[in-house]
Amino acid sequence: MPKLLALFTLTLLTSVAIAQTWTPQNSGTTLTIGCMTFVNPDTGWACGSSGTLIQTADGGETWTANTGAGALATFGMHFADELNGWIVGNSGTILHTSDGGVNWLPQTSNTTQILLGVHFADADNGWAVGRIGSIVHTSNGGATWSVQSDGNTDQLHSAFALDANTCYITGVNGNVFRTDDAGANWTQQNTNGLTSAIYSSYFVHPDTGWVSGVNGKILHTVDGGTTWVEQITNSTQLLYSITFADGQNGICVGDSGNVFHTDDAGENWTAYPLNTFTRLRCVRMNGANEAWMCAVTGEIWHYHDSGLYAPTEFTITVVDADFHFSWRNMGAPLYKIFSDTDSEGPYPTFELQTPDTFAVITIPALNENYYHVVSTLAP
C-alpha cells in the first residue's frame, strides 16, 4: 500500500532544492589542499603544502599541476580576476601572477612572518595577514606592500577586502577588525563575547557578512560589524571556511567532513555531512547552485545543484492504487515525478507551457515510496 493518505496536500511558500550531492574530483595529489578560488564556473586554482598548486579550466573535470609555487608551503590564495592572482605562505612569501597562473613572480611583502590569508577588492587593492598579528597592504597590485598594525600581536587567519578602503580581518580570540581608511586605522569589533579562533569570513556587502571558526561557531552581521549574532549549527567542530553566493545562499565546511548549507542567510543551517572524517579546509561557490571544496587529504569535491524545485501547490490523491498527481505550474515548463528510493524513476517528463495552470497526471503505484513532483527549472 503506498505510504500516502487518501488525500495529501503540500503547499510551499517558496521553491526549495530537493537534495545536495557532492561528487569527488581527481586533484592529482594527496598532499594538503588548504585554499582554492574560482573566478567563473570553469576557471579555478587550488594550493597547499609542499608547493602544491593545481588549476582547472573545465570546472574541475580535470586538474593540472602548476610548478609556480616551487616547494613553498602555501596557506592563502585569491584571484581578483581571471589574470591577477596572489598566493601567500611561509616566511612572508607573496607570489603574484598577471597571466592567469602561467607565471608566478615573488613580491616583496616586508615581513618574514608566515602569511595565512590574502584577499583583494580588485586588481590593485588588497591585504595579506598572518602570524604575530602581521598585516600588509598594497594599493598597486603588490608592486609595493606596506606593513600595518591592528594594535596587537594575535595571529590573524583571514582578510576580506570590499573596496580600496574597506577590509575585515579575523583571527584568534574571537578577533574581528575593520578598516574604512585603507588600513590606517583598524577598529576591533564586538563579537558577542566570542573568545575562540575565527578562521574565515565572507561579506556580500560592507555591512553584511559572516565569520566561522572553532566549536561550530558562525556569526552574522548586518550593520557592518557593530553587532554580531551567533547562528546555530549544532556542531562542535572547527569550521575552517565559509562562503556565500549572495545574501541568502551559503556553505560552511570544517573538521570531520562537516558541511552546512543555508538558503536563508543563515537563519537555518542544514548539515550535509560527507561520509568521511577528513578535514575540509576551504569551500568556494559559483552562484547558488555550484560549489567546490578541498581537504587536507588532497581531495576535491564538486557540488552542482540538479535544479530540481518543488511546485508551489502539489496534491496527490490515491484512487484504486494509482497516484493522481496535480500541481500548479508557476512558470517552470518541465516537471518530473520522483520517488525517494528511485530518484530517476521510470516516469516521464511532463511539459506545461502555460504558467499558473494546473496539470493532472496518473501513474501506477509501483512500490511503497514517498513521491514528489519537481520542476527541472526554478520558477
So what's the pLDDT on residue 243? 97
Q: What is the mean pLDDT of residues 297-302?
A: 94
| 49: helix, strand or coil | helix
Kindly list the distances between the CA atom of residue 76 and the CA atoms of 1, 159, 205, in Å, as whole numbers in the listed order.
56, 10, 22
Q: What is the CA radius of gyration of the chain?
A: 23
So what's the pLDDT on residue 20? 56
Q: What is the mean pLDDT of residues 337-365?
A: 42
**Could you identify the residue written with the cell 598577471?**
98
**What percent of the chain shows pLDDT beyond 70?**
75
At residue 185, does pLDDT exceed 70?
Answer: yes
For the chain, what is the mean pLDDT?
Answer: 81
Q: What is the mean pLDDT of residues 74-84?
A: 95
Report domain extents, the chain. 7-14+308-375, 22-304
For residue 336, what pLDDT band results from cuts at 50, 70 and 90?
A: very low
pLDDT top residue among 19 and 127 = 127
pTM value is: 0.77
For residue 356, what pLDDT band results from cuts at 50, 70 and 90?
A: very low
At residue 284, does pLDDT exceed 70?
Answer: yes
Q: What is the mean pLDDT of residues 93-110?
A: 96
For residue 208, what pLDDT band results from cuts at 50, 70 and 90?
A: very high
- Range from 125-129, 207-211, 257-261 carrying the lowest mean pLDDT: 257-261
So what's the pLDDT on residue 274? 79
So what's the pLDDT on residue 323? 45
What is d(CA 186, CA 128) in angstroms, rounded to the nearest whole number? 14
At residue 194, does pLDDT exceed 60?
Answer: yes
**Could you identify the residue written with the cell 564538486?**
302
At residue 378, does pLDDT exceed 50?
Answer: no
Residues 157-167 pLDDT 10s: 999 999 999 99
Taking alpha carbons only, the member of 178, 143, 158, 17 closest to residue 77 is 158
- Range from 67-76, 86-95, 269-278, 365-374 carrying the lowest mean pLDDT: 365-374
What is d(CA 352, CA 361) in angstroms, rounded to the nearest whole number? 12
Select 7-14+308-375's CATH number: 3.40.50, 3.30.420, 3.90.550, 2.60.40. Answer: 2.60.40
Angle at CA 203, nearest 5°, toward 159 and 187? 55
For residue 346, what pLDDT band results from cuts at 50, 70 and 90?
A: very low
At residue 365, does pLDDT exceed 90?
Answer: no
371-375 sheet: strands from edge to edge: 349-351, 334-339, 371-375
So what's the pLDDT on residue 13? 26
Structurally, at CATH architecture level, domain 22-304 sits in 7 Propeller (2.130)
